[in-house]
């Protein structure tokens, strides 16, 4: 039986680091689906694919993104990364894996309802430390399979005693992947296309995504990829995307507070808004549109906007006070 994936998982951007393999060309511990093949393009990157399909579904892991998480592990093997605002004005990452799996990823933190919009289009399973009861109910009612610390079937969680809680939880993703089987094909996560068809835009080799007065993610472009200048990832394990897609989004109140008493924000990853696609050291401005379980649609005044095939980091930057994008 052939599994045709008309989407993306990639070989550029974060693939700058060599892969550990077990002698047969596959990442250590990663199984393939017997008799299934990948033909066309990988769903999370749009890059060419031809061969055996992974036996596991797309796997999304929630990772802390503060200095307390340093060093983050496993980002270098990701296919796609998303960043969202959480309580306290800091951000958290949802990191997507399919083609290559890290042995260890983390620190793993709790999930948010925003993940429904991230995870459903990729038909992914979600790995997190846990979640507030209202969030857990919403995500499970959306039909998303979750693996939470201490829950049934959540193989691979482990604590690093050299770190302080709650920043010491990690997932052995290759172990978990052997226990969960892919059930569905995956459509292209983004409207991928060729870099040659991208509008010229304007030069933008340095820019910053401002999430709040407390956190700004800074980027620079060189050598064909983007570098997160204030990354918390371990040296040699950074995600260097080919594209950075900035989507301006509304942020509301999730309706509960964290243990420290901070109001928990909820990024509204539905509707429409302005978009900025950074690729090749330039920026193209447009708009985005998305329903809760659909993929992202991008456009400019001239028509459809396509993301050049490769690894992409998606920034969900608030439209309200404290959020913004600066270039230069």
Could you tell me which residue, 27 or 12, shows the higher pLDDT? 27
95: exposed, middle or buried (C-beta count within 10 Å: 0-12, 13-18, 19+)? buried
Is it the case that residue 8 has pLDDT exceeding 80? no
What pLDDT score was predicted for residue 111?
A: 93
Determine the average pLDDT of the residues in 295-313. 95
Q: Which of 133, 149, 177 is the last residue of a domain?
A: 177
Residue 126 scores a pLDDT above 50: yes
The predicted structure's pLDDT at residue 272? 94
User: What 3-state class would DSSP assign to 137?
Assistant: helix
pLDDT in tens, 206-258: 999 999 999 999 999 999 999 999 999 999 999 999 999 999 999 988 778 77
Q: Which CATH number do you get for residue 207?
A: 3.50.90.10
Are both 220 and 273 inside the same structural domain? yes
Note whether 46 and 123 are same-domain residues.
no
In this model, does residue 26 exceed pLDDT 50? no
Q: Is the pLDDT of residue 262 over 80?
A: no
3-state DSSP assignment of residue 311: coil
**Mean pLDDT for the chain overall:** 87
| Same domain flag for 281 and 298 | yes
Instruction: In whole angstroms, give the CA distance from residue 41 to residue 47.
Output: 5
What is the number of structural domains in the chain?
3
Percentage of the chain surpassing pLDDT 90?
70
Same structural domain for residues 98 and 25?
no
Specify if 48 maps to a domain: yes
Indicate whether 309 pLDDT > 80: yes
Range of the domain at 145: 59-79+87-177
pTM of the model: 0.87
Q: 61 burial class (0-12, 13-18, 19+ CB within 10 angstroms)?
A: buried
pLDDT tens digits along 173-203: 999 999 999 887 888 999 999 999 899 999 9
């Amino acid at each position: 039986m052939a599994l045709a994936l008309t989407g993306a998982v990639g070989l550029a951007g974060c693939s700058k680091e060599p892969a550990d393999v077990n002698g047969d060309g596959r990442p250590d511990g990663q199984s393939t689906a017997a008799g299934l093949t990948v033909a066309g393009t990988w769903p999370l990157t749009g890059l060419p694919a031809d061969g055996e399909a992974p036996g596991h579904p797309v796997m999304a892991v929630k990772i802390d993104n503060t200095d307390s998480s340093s060093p983050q592990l496993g980002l270098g093997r990701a296919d796609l990364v998303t960043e969202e605002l959480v309580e306290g004005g800091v951000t958290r990452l949802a990191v997507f894996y399919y083609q290559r799996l890290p042995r260890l990823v983390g620190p793993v933190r709790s999930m948010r309802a925003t993940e429904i919009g991230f995870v459903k289009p990729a038909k992914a399973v979600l790995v997190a430390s846990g979640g507030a009861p209202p969030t857990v109910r919403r995500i499970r009612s959306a039909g998303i399979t979750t693996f939470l610390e201490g829950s049934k079937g959540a193989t691979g969680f482990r604590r690093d005693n050299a770190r302080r809680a709650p920043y010491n939880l990690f997932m052995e993703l290759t172990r978990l992947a052997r226990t969960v089987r892919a059930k569905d094909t995956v459509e292209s996560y983004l409207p991928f296309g060729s870099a040659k068809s991208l509008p010229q835009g304007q030069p933008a080799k340095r820019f910053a995504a401002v999430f709040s007065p407390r956190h700004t993610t800074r980027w620079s472009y060189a050598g064909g990829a983007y570098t997160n200048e204030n990354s918390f990832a371990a040296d040699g394990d950074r995600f260097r995307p080919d594209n950075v897609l900035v989507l301006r989004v509304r942020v509301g109140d999730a309706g509960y507070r964290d243990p420290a008493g901070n109001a928990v924000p909820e990024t509204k990853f539905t509707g429409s808004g302005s978009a900025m696609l950074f690729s090749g050291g330039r920026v193209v401005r447009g708009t985005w549109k998305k329903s809760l379980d659909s993929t992202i649609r991008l456009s400019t005044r001239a028509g459809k906007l396509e993301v050049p095939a490769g690894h992409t980091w998606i920034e969900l930057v608030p439209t309200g006070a404290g959020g913004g994008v600066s270039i230069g």
